[in-house]
Structure 1
Amino acid sequence: MYEFRNLDGPLPVMAVVDERLSTTTVCLASKYGSRDDPARECGLAHVLEHVLMSAPVGPVPSFSEYVERLGGHANAETGLDRMLFYAQVHADDAEEITGLLQQAVLRPRWNDRTLPQEKAAVFQELAAAAADPSDVVQDAFLEHLFPGHPLGRPVGGTRETVEAFDVAAVAAGHHDRLLTAPLSLIVVGPSVPATADPLVAGVPAEALARLGTARRDLSALPDPGPHGPLPWPDEFAWVCAGARSVGNHDPRRPHFNVLAQLLGSSPSSVLYRRLRGEAGLAYAFQSWNRGYGETGAWRVLAGVESGNGDAALAVIRGALEEIAADGPKPDDLESARRQARMRIHTSVDTPLECARFLALRSGGPADWSPAAEVANIAAVGAEELRAAAAHVLDGWRAVVRPEAR
């Protein structure tokens, strides 16, 4: 049985201790994301993530390579509102890797070789995403939902903005934004390594003193773009539809999460029965809710054949309208709640996913825990689902990619 702990210190630690585990997963979670970069430096956070994982650290050529040579796994990710740097290693290596991870992120060694190498990798990422309409449509949806706002910009930036970055710009982003954003450490393993204390790991006290001193610019959200007929192409296309929801720590967030399960891709969902089973209009689709600082985005992503787009959207809207008017049927509501709770359980039961799950929820109420999250999901009732569905319908927007030529 695992034990959930919150440890205070210069770097807050959220730990899941399970003596049965033979591996330790450590994750540094920063509340610096792509939204915090100026528009002219769109994509800098993502490039910085690449550089920090690949630059020399301590006595080793790069953090990622060293972890993999030990037989472990290392990776990082950048989102709109945060960055995650993580590694999973044998528990015997946990002390060393926990210290190295903190050094890699907080005390990088800048050089002229790593940046060009990682910019080339980012260019490949951007090219791959641009060639995949299911990726392109999600960026277009957020741009439509948050026009002219940092939340509507692509996380990876553009080839033009990335091309302009030099070592000085990346170092400035690290100094001015990453080192001043709130940071927390998540540990999942048989024990908490001593190097989870950043002072033990050799992180200078002056660097720790700057953490969390920045305040995110929560500028007013603009009105979403106008919603009109979609320019459907004469080929298979991806449509992304939904609306703004609520922030990551809003007490209503579980309502939108359960609504996503109620209209998700599981055979137990209302939308699966109607969109795939009864109407036969879509094979690949999914629904999810993502909270940010002051708002969120609830969406459905579906792949549709030529000529089926409007009909598929009508089925999705029809399901939402029925829920908004009458609420879900009791057995459908219970199924959706069970699905949402199971997502939490399966995340917590897998060490690497558990670390990511906790990292994405760090910085919330002090009494938050996975058990509290499960309890909040279990408490969602029909009235909350009616209100969430009505909220989505009120802000409904949809985009399609590719568009008609």
Structure 2
Amino acid sequence: MYELSILPSGLRVISHHMPASRSVTICVYIGVGSRYETDCEAGASHFIEHMVFRGSKKYPDSQLISSAIEGVGGILNAATDRESTLYYAKVGSDKFALALDVLSDMLVTPLFNPEDLEKERKVIYEEISMSLDNPSHRVGLLLDEILWPNHPLGRDIAGTRQSVAGLDKQKLQAFMHSHYTPANIVVAVAGDIKRKSAVAAISQAFSGLGGKNEIQSFAPYHYGNPCQIGVDKRDAEQINLMLAMPGMNRLDDRRYAFSILNTILGDGMSSRLFAHVRDNLGLAYSVQSGTEFLHDTGAFSIYAAVDPANLTACVEAILTELESAKTTITAEELTKAKEMSKGRIHLAMEDSRYMAKWIGSQELLCRRVNTHEDVIRLIDGVSLKAVMELAGEYFRKPEMRLALVGPVDKEAVEGLLKG
């Protein structure tokens, strides 16, 4: 069970006591990500995430920050997403005060040293280049471009070299001041620490956080793109492909049924796609599917990497499985997918980091938290009819988008999604 406290500043603290755990995890969720950025600001959320690791008032350089946590065997990391930014530390439960001191100092009093900013800009350039050079990363970026065209959702979260070049100290600090405000922050704590002491410590640690308590808005997404296929032609041994279609938002009551459908189709070696595309046809080393749920849209996607000679056969095999899912999913498959999903939840509940992310992300993005018992009940309530109806609703060729990276000519693949 979790407990939520809202501080006078508006900052939310949500906690889950795990008395049997020897660790504690602090997750600081900020309600900002790449979709909140204008074209000129593209990459700002990600750049700020990097910069706070460069030094703060008490820990004025990156080595002092990292060694403070790593020196006690802990984990310190962060991640920028489309709609949120996460900073977290996992340490032994007796090191909670240290972890909170490091995280809060990074976020309340970051230095933004000009010399470090220019160094980090170069690091981000390399990160962008790495993603563009790596076919398995590039195909995901290309898919976003054609799935969400002319919209922040379709951009690389890191921005472009051009947009990052235009982000100076003043712009980054102004962006941070607008979004890193108490009402836009959730601090989640899970592990061997009690709520009262956690809330008191967090209230003190983040007392210096300023900014106006105004929740910033983002541009809504309006679906529509005539381009179904995107190609990045390059020399390679394989073609990396991603096939996707728009999905549902995170508050849709049917998302658990959609997740079960994903499990049946492409989650694990016992999934339909793995069995057909790899085991039966030998077309790919791995093939997998995934879902993404956002505020006002979502996506269902499938990834594989294949020999150029097998591209058409692989895409056709994937499309066959998507079509088959509309009418042939069995009660046995449904039961297996439910047990797989529930089993993973039960195993993950032992990890304080998982628990902190579970409660923190839901509180930030949904403004409500389903307990594990709630989710188990919702999974058990998914019907065979509901799963196949979702397949029929979402797996339609006119809505599909195909991204290809490798030795492929766009003209030669134009007909793959026709008919």
Q: TM-score, normalised on structure 1? A: 0.91
Question: What aligned pairs does 1:53-64 form with structure 2 within 5 A after superposition?
Answer: 53-58=53-58, 61-62=61-62, 63-64=65-66
**Aligned residue for 2:203?**
199
* Separation (CA, whole Å) in 2 of partners of 1:273 and 1:205: 52
Please identify, of 299-308 and 393-402, the stretch whose mean Cα deviation from structure 2 is larger. Answer: 393-402
Instruction: Give aligned pairs, total.
Output: 399
* Separation (CA, whole Å) in 2 of partners of 1:130 and 1:228: 18
The alignment partner of 2:283 has SS state of coil
**Aligned residue for 2:225?**
224
**Aligned residue for 1:188?**
190
* Separation (CA, whole Å) in 2 of partners of 1:232 and 1:327: 36
Amino acid at match of 1:116: E
Q: Which runs of 4+ in 1 moved over 4 A?
A: 228-234
**Aligned residue for 1:389?**
391
Please identify, of 7-16 and 234-243, the stretch whose mean Cα deviation from structure 2 is larger. Answer: 7-16
Please identify, of 76-85 and 120-129, the stretch whose mean Cα deviation from structure 2 is larger. Answer: 120-129
1:40 aligns with 2:40: yes
* Among 3, 13, 31, the residue aligned to 1:5: 3
Deviation at 1:53, TM superposition (A): 2.3
The alignment partner of 2:4 has SS state of strand
| RMSD of aligned residue pairs (Cα, Å) | 2.3
> Does the CA-based 8 Å contact 1:64-1:75 persist in structure 2?
no
Deviation at 1:232, TM superposition (A): 7.9
Question: What aligned pairs does 1:94-113 form with structure 2 within 5 A after superposition?
Answer: 94-113=96-115
**Aligned residue for 2:27?**
27
Amino acid at match of 1:370: H
Deviation at 1:116, TM superposition (A): 1.9
Deviation at 1:84, TM superposition (A): 0.3
Deviation at 1:88, TM superposition (A): 0.8
The alignment partner of 1:76 has SS state of strand
Q: Deviations over 1:160-183 (max 9, x none)?
A: 221222111111110123337721
Deviation at 1:140, TM superposition (A): 0.8
* Separation (CA, whole Å) in 2 of partners of 1:224 and 1:354: 38
> Does the CA-based 8 Å contact 1:30-1:181 persist in structure 2?
no
**Aligned residue for 1:345?**
346
Structure 2 gaps, min length 5: 410-419
* Separation (CA, whole Å) in 2 of partners of 1:141 and 1:329: 31
> Does the CA-based 8 Å contact 2:146-2:229 persist in structure 1?
no
Deviation at 1:244, TM superposition (A): 1.0
Q: Deviations over 1:154-212 (max 9, x none)?
A: 101112221222111111110123337721111111014735444321523754xx34x
Please identify, of 234-243 and 362-371, the stretch whose mean Cα deviation from structure 2 is larger. Answer: 362-371
* Separation (CA, whole Å) in 1 of partners of 2:232 and 2:111: 49
**Aligned residue for 2:417?**
none
Amino acid at match of 1:130: L
* Separation (CA, whole Å) in 2 of partners of 1:93 and 1:182: 26
Deviation at 1:51, TM superposition (A): 0.6
The alignment partner of 1:349 has SS state of coil
* Among 315, 328, 339, the residue aligned to 2:317: 315
> Does the CA-based 8 Å contact 2:60-2:111 persist in structure 1?
no
Structure 1 gaps, min length 5: none
* Among 260, 263, 268, the residue aligned to 1:261: 263
* Separation (CA, whole Å) in 1 of partners of 2:382 and 2:356: 25
1:371 aligns with 2:369: no
Aligned pair in 2 of structure 1 residues 182, 252: CA closer, same or farther (>3 Å)? Answer: farther
Aligned pair in 2 of structure 1 residues 345, 121: CA closer, same or farther (>3 Å)? Answer: farther
* Separation (CA, whole Å) in 1 of partners of 2:30 and 2:105: 14
